[in-house]
Chain A
Amino acid sequence: MPDHKIDATKWIDSYSDYLYNYTISRVSDSEIAKDLVQDTFFAGLKSMKNFKGEASERTWLISILKRKIIDYYRKINSKKGKAEVRMSYSSDSEDEGEWLEERVEDQSYKNAEDVLENTELSIAIYNCLDKLPEKQAQVFKMKTIENYDTEIICNELNITASNLWVIIHRARTALSSCLEKNWY
Protein backbone atom coordinates (compact mmCIF):
# COMPACT_ATOMS: atom_id res chain seq x y z
CA MET A 1 0.00 0.00 0.00
CA PRO A 2 1.17 3.54 -0.67
CA ASP A 3 2.42 5.48 2.30
CA HIS A 4 0.25 8.50 1.52
CA LYS A 5 -3.20 7.78 2.82
CA ILE A 6 -6.08 9.33 0.95
CA ASP A 7 -9.22 10.08 2.86
CA ALA A 8 -11.91 10.18 0.21
CA THR A 9 -14.58 11.15 2.72
CA LYS A 10 -12.98 14.58 2.94
CA TRP A 11 -12.99 15.14 -0.82
CA ILE A 12 -16.33 16.88 -1.04
CA ASP A 13 -15.51 19.40 1.67
CA SER A 14 -12.00 20.01 0.44
CA TYR A 15 -12.21 19.96 -3.32
CA SER A 16 -15.78 20.01 -4.66
CA ASP A 17 -16.04 23.80 -4.88
CA TYR A 18 -12.71 24.09 -6.59
CA LEU A 19 -13.49 21.36 -9.12
CA TYR A 20 -16.96 22.72 -9.75
CA ASN A 21 -15.62 26.21 -10.36
CA TYR A 22 -13.07 24.75 -12.77
CA THR A 23 -15.75 22.78 -14.63
CA ILE A 24 -18.39 25.46 -14.91
CA SER A 25 -16.05 27.74 -16.83
CA ARG A 26 -15.64 24.94 -19.36
CA VAL A 27 -19.08 23.42 -19.75
CA SER A 28 -21.27 26.28 -18.47
CA ASP A 29 -24.19 24.06 -17.46
CA SER A 30 -24.48 23.60 -13.73
CA GLU A 31 -26.12 20.16 -13.83
CA ILE A 32 -23.57 18.76 -16.25
CA ALA A 33 -20.78 20.34 -14.22
CA LYS A 34 -22.07 18.70 -11.04
CA ASP A 35 -22.21 15.32 -12.77
CA LEU A 36 -18.69 15.68 -14.07
CA VAL A 37 -17.41 16.55 -10.60
CA GLN A 38 -19.22 13.58 -9.12
CA ASP A 39 -17.81 11.30 -11.85
CA THR A 40 -14.36 12.61 -11.10
CA PHE A 41 -14.64 11.62 -7.45
CA PHE A 42 -15.85 8.14 -8.43
CA ALA A 43 -13.01 7.72 -10.88
CA GLY A 44 -10.58 8.96 -8.27
CA LEU A 45 -11.89 6.41 -5.84
CA LYS A 46 -11.32 3.65 -8.35
CA SER A 47 -7.78 4.67 -9.19
CA MET A 48 -6.75 5.70 -5.70
CA LYS A 49 -4.18 2.90 -5.65
CA ASN A 50 -2.40 4.42 -8.61
CA PHE A 51 -2.02 7.78 -6.93
CA LYS A 52 1.69 8.08 -6.27
CA GLY A 53 1.56 11.20 -4.21
CA GLU A 54 3.82 13.01 -6.63
CA ALA A 55 1.29 15.75 -7.13
CA SER A 56 -1.13 17.14 -4.61
CA GLU A 57 -4.44 15.38 -4.33
CA ARG A 58 -6.16 18.37 -5.88
CA THR A 59 -3.87 18.41 -8.91
CA TRP A 60 -4.43 14.71 -9.36
CA LEU A 61 -8.22 15.13 -9.19
CA ILE A 62 -8.04 18.02 -11.66
CA SER A 63 -6.17 15.81 -14.10
CA ILE A 64 -8.97 13.25 -13.86
CA LEU A 65 -11.55 15.99 -14.28
CA LYS A 66 -9.84 17.29 -17.42
CA ARG A 67 -10.21 13.87 -19.00
CA LYS A 68 -13.85 13.75 -17.96
CA ILE A 69 -14.51 17.10 -19.60
CA ILE A 70 -12.80 15.99 -22.81
CA ASP A 71 -14.80 12.74 -22.77
CA TYR A 72 -17.97 14.76 -22.31
CA TYR A 73 -17.26 16.86 -25.39
CA ARG A 74 -16.33 13.76 -27.36
CA LYS A 75 -19.59 12.15 -26.45
CA ILE A 76 -21.79 15.04 -27.51
CA ASN A 77 -19.75 15.27 -30.68
CA SER A 78 -20.08 11.60 -31.54
CA LYS A 79 -22.59 9.84 -33.82
CA LYS A 80 -25.64 10.98 -31.95
CA GLY A 81 -24.48 14.57 -31.68
CA LYS A 82 -23.49 14.78 -35.31
CA ALA A 83 -26.76 13.32 -36.50
CA GLU A 84 -28.55 16.20 -34.90
CA VAL A 85 -26.71 18.89 -36.77
CA ARG A 86 -29.09 20.49 -39.19
CA MET A 87 -28.61 23.19 -41.72
CA SER A 88 -31.19 25.83 -41.00
CA TYR A 89 -30.74 27.94 -44.10
CA SER A 90 -31.20 26.92 -47.68
CA SER A 91 -28.77 28.66 -49.96
CA ASP A 92 -31.29 29.94 -52.49
CA SER A 93 -33.88 31.47 -50.18
CA GLU A 94 -34.27 35.17 -49.66
CA ASP A 95 -33.36 34.71 -46.02
CA GLU A 96 -29.75 35.01 -46.99
CA GLY A 97 -29.46 38.54 -45.71
CA GLU A 98 -30.76 37.47 -42.38
CA TRP A 99 -28.26 34.68 -42.29
CA LEU A 100 -25.45 37.17 -42.68
CA GLU A 101 -26.85 39.39 -40.01
CA GLU A 102 -27.01 36.53 -37.59
CA ARG A 103 -23.44 35.70 -38.37
CA VAL A 104 -22.26 39.08 -37.10
CA GLU A 105 -20.25 38.75 -33.93
CA ASP A 106 -22.39 38.78 -30.86
CA GLN A 107 -21.08 41.54 -28.65
CA SER A 108 -22.70 40.04 -25.60
CA TYR A 109 -20.16 37.22 -25.74
CA LYS A 110 -17.02 38.06 -23.90
CA ASN A 111 -13.84 37.44 -25.77
CA ALA A 112 -11.84 34.35 -24.99
CA GLU A 113 -9.19 36.28 -23.15
CA ASP A 114 -11.70 37.70 -20.69
CA VAL A 115 -13.09 34.27 -19.98
CA LEU A 116 -9.62 32.89 -19.52
CA GLU A 117 -8.62 35.65 -17.16
CA ASN A 118 -11.78 35.23 -15.09
CA THR A 119 -11.16 31.51 -14.82
CA GLU A 120 -7.63 32.07 -13.67
CA LEU A 121 -8.80 34.72 -11.26
CA SER A 122 -11.42 32.51 -9.66
CA ILE A 123 -8.81 29.78 -9.31
CA ALA A 124 -6.44 32.25 -7.68
CA ILE A 125 -9.22 33.18 -5.25
CA TYR A 126 -9.76 29.51 -4.43
CA ASN A 127 -6.05 29.04 -3.84
CA CYS A 128 -6.21 31.89 -1.32
CA LEU A 129 -9.41 30.55 0.24
CA ASP A 130 -7.66 27.23 0.79
CA LYS A 131 -5.16 28.95 3.05
CA LEU A 132 -7.88 30.22 5.39
CA PRO A 133 -9.13 28.26 8.38
CA GLU A 134 -12.02 26.08 7.27
CA LYS A 135 -14.67 28.01 9.15
CA GLN A 136 -13.55 31.35 7.76
CA ALA A 137 -13.59 30.02 4.23
CA GLN A 138 -17.02 28.49 4.72
CA VAL A 139 -18.58 31.66 6.12
CA PHE A 140 -16.93 33.81 3.49
CA LYS A 141 -18.16 31.59 0.65
CA MET A 142 -21.71 31.53 1.97
CA LYS A 143 -21.80 35.26 2.45
CA THR A 144 -19.88 36.45 -0.57
CA ILE A 145 -20.28 33.82 -3.28
CA GLU A 146 -23.66 32.34 -2.46
CA ASN A 147 -24.97 35.68 -1.18
CA TYR A 148 -26.84 34.25 1.77
CA ASP A 149 -28.36 36.63 4.29
CA THR A 150 -26.48 37.10 7.52
CA GLU A 151 -29.40 35.67 9.45
CA ILE A 152 -29.53 32.45 7.43
CA ILE A 153 -25.80 31.82 7.83
CA CYS A 154 -26.02 32.50 11.57
CA ASN A 155 -28.84 30.01 11.96
CA GLU A 156 -27.21 27.35 9.88
CA LEU A 157 -23.83 27.58 11.58
CA ASN A 158 -25.16 28.51 14.98
CA ILE A 159 -23.14 31.69 15.40
CA THR A 160 -24.11 35.25 16.35
CA ALA A 161 -24.13 38.12 13.89
CA SER A 162 -21.13 39.72 15.55
CA ASN A 163 -19.26 36.39 15.32
CA LEU A 164 -20.06 36.38 11.64
CA TRP A 165 -18.73 39.87 11.05
CA VAL A 166 -15.52 39.12 12.92
CA ILE A 167 -15.02 36.01 10.78
CA ILE A 168 -15.85 37.92 7.60
CA HIS A 169 -13.43 40.66 8.55
CA ARG A 170 -10.58 38.21 9.15
CA ALA A 171 -11.31 36.34 5.95
CA ARG A 172 -11.44 39.51 3.89
CA THR A 173 -8.20 40.87 5.33
CA ALA A 174 -6.39 37.58 4.71
CA LEU A 175 -7.79 37.25 1.19
CA SER A 176 -6.87 40.82 0.35
CA SER A 177 -3.26 40.33 1.28
CA CYS A 178 -3.09 36.90 -0.36
CA LEU A 179 -4.44 38.26 -3.64
CA GLU A 180 -2.16 41.25 -3.30
CA LYS A 181 0.78 38.86 -3.38
CA ASN A 182 -0.50 36.44 -5.99
CA TRP A 183 -2.72 38.31 -8.37
CA TYR A 184 -2.86 42.10 -8.46
Chain B
Amino acid sequence: MSCEEASHVCDKAQYNESTFLERLKLRIHILFCDLCKKHTIDNHKLTETIKKSNIVCLDSKSKSEMKKCLEKEIKNQNAKH
Protein backbone atom coordinates (compact mmCIF):
# COMPACT_ATOMS: atom_id res chain seq x y z
CA MET B 1 0.00 0.00 0.00
CA SER B 2 1.33 3.42 -0.97
CA CYS B 3 1.12 6.50 1.24
CA GLU B 4 -1.44 7.95 -1.12
CA GLU B 5 -3.68 4.92 -0.80
CA ALA B 6 -3.13 4.90 2.94
CA SER B 7 -4.37 8.44 3.34
CA HIS B 8 -7.38 7.73 1.15
CA VAL B 9 -8.34 4.70 3.23
CA CYS B 10 -7.78 6.73 6.36
CA ASP B 11 -10.16 9.44 5.09
CA LYS B 12 -12.78 6.87 4.17
CA ALA B 13 -12.41 5.24 7.56
CA GLN B 14 -13.45 8.53 9.21
CA TYR B 15 -16.85 8.09 7.58
CA ASN B 16 -17.04 4.33 8.11
CA GLU B 17 -16.66 3.75 4.41
CA SER B 18 -13.55 1.57 4.44
CA THR B 19 -13.51 -2.21 4.29
CA PHE B 20 -11.94 -4.41 6.91
CA LEU B 21 -9.20 -5.45 4.53
CA GLU B 22 -8.39 -1.82 3.72
CA ARG B 23 -8.12 -0.97 7.39
CA LEU B 24 -5.87 -3.97 7.98
CA LYS B 25 -3.57 -2.85 5.18
CA LEU B 26 -3.54 0.66 6.61
CA ARG B 27 -2.58 -0.72 10.02
CA ILE B 28 0.34 -2.59 8.52
CA HIS B 29 1.39 0.46 6.49
CA ILE B 30 1.53 2.75 9.51
CA LEU B 31 3.68 0.26 11.38
CA PHE B 32 6.47 1.25 9.03
CA CYS B 33 5.47 4.78 7.96
CA ASP B 34 5.71 7.48 10.61
CA LEU B 35 4.30 10.20 8.42
CA CYS B 36 1.12 8.25 7.68
CA LYS B 37 0.94 7.27 11.31
CA LYS B 38 0.87 10.90 12.37
CA HIS B 39 -1.67 11.75 9.70
CA THR B 40 -3.90 8.88 10.81
CA ILE B 41 -3.78 10.01 14.43
CA ASP B 42 -4.52 13.65 13.48
CA ASN B 43 -7.33 12.63 11.18
CA HIS B 44 -8.94 10.50 13.85
CA LYS B 45 -8.57 13.30 16.36
CA LEU B 46 -10.41 15.65 14.00
CA THR B 47 -13.30 13.20 13.72
CA GLU B 48 -13.52 12.92 17.51
CA THR B 49 -13.33 16.69 17.95
CA ILE B 50 -16.15 17.29 15.52
CA LYS B 51 -18.28 14.66 17.18
CA LYS B 52 -17.63 16.22 20.56
CA SER B 53 -18.49 19.73 19.41
CA ASN B 54 -22.11 18.94 18.45
CA ILE B 55 -21.58 21.33 15.58
CA VAL B 56 -24.63 21.99 13.42
CA CYS B 57 -25.31 23.73 10.16
CA LEU B 58 -28.40 24.65 8.23
CA ASP B 59 -29.79 22.30 5.59
CA SER B 60 -29.79 23.61 2.06
CA LYS B 61 -33.57 23.83 1.94
CA SER B 62 -33.77 26.19 4.90
CA LYS B 63 -30.94 28.20 3.44
CA SER B 64 -32.62 28.70 0.11
CA GLU B 65 -35.85 29.68 1.86
CA MET B 66 -33.96 32.21 3.94
CA LYS B 67 -32.28 33.50 0.82
CA LYS B 68 -35.62 34.04 -0.89
CA CYS B 69 -37.01 35.95 2.10
CA LEU B 70 -33.91 38.07 2.41
CA GLU B 71 -33.81 38.91 -1.28
CA LYS B 72 -37.44 39.99 -1.12
CA GLU B 73 -36.63 42.18 1.83
CA ILE B 74 -33.65 43.72 0.03
CA LYS B 75 -35.87 44.56 -2.93
CA ASN B 76 -38.45 46.14 -0.63
CA GLN B 77 -35.82 48.23 1.00
CA ASN B 78 -34.31 49.36 -2.29
CA ALA B 79 -37.76 50.32 -3.55
CA LYS B 80 -38.27 52.54 -0.53
CA HIS B 81 -35.14 54.60 -1.16
Residues of A within 8 A of B (CB): 8-9, 11-13, 16-17, 20-21, 24-25, 34, 37-38, 41-42, 45-46, 118, 121-122, 125-126, 141, 143-146, 150, 156, 165, 168-169, 172-173, 175-176, 179-180, 183-184
Contact = CB atoms under 8 A, between A and B. Distances in A.
Given A12-B66, A16-B63, A42-B73, A126 B55 contact: yes
B56 A169 contact: no
Contacts of B57: 17, 20-21, 141, 145-146
**Interface of B: prevailing SS:** helix
Contacts of A184: 45
B50 A169 contact: no
A174 B52 CA distance: 19
B46 A176 contact: yes
Given A8-B74, A169-B8, A20 B49 contact: no
B19 interface: no
Given A169-B8, A176-B42, A150 B66 contact: no
B34 interface: no
Interface of B: 7-8, 11-12, 14-15, 17, 39, 42-43, 45-46, 49-50, 52-60, 62-63, 66-67, 69-71, 73-74, 77
Given A16-B66, A42-B70, A180-B42, 11 more contacts: A9-B70, A12-B67, A16-B63, A24-B56, A34-B58, A38-B66, A45-B77, A121-B49, A122-B54, A145-B57, A176-B43
Contacts, number: 92
B14 A172 contact: yes
**Interface of A: prevailing SS:** helix
Given A16-B66, A45-B74, A175 B46 contact: yes
Contacts of A144: 15, 50
A36 to B, nearest CB: 12
A125 B55 contact: yes
B77 A165 contact: no
Given A34-B62, A145-B50, A41 B70 contact: yes
Nearest to A137: B57
Contacts of B53: 118, 121-122, 125
A47 to B, nearest CB: 11
A41 to B, nearest CB: 5
A146 B70 CA distance: 24
23 contacts: A12-B66, A13-B63, A20-B57, A21-B55, A24-B56, A34-B66, A37-B66, A38-B69, A38-B70, A45-B70, A45-B73, A118-B52, A121-B52, A125-B53, A143-B15, A144-B15, A144-B50, A169-B7, A172-B14, A172-B46, A176-B42, A176-B45, A176-B46
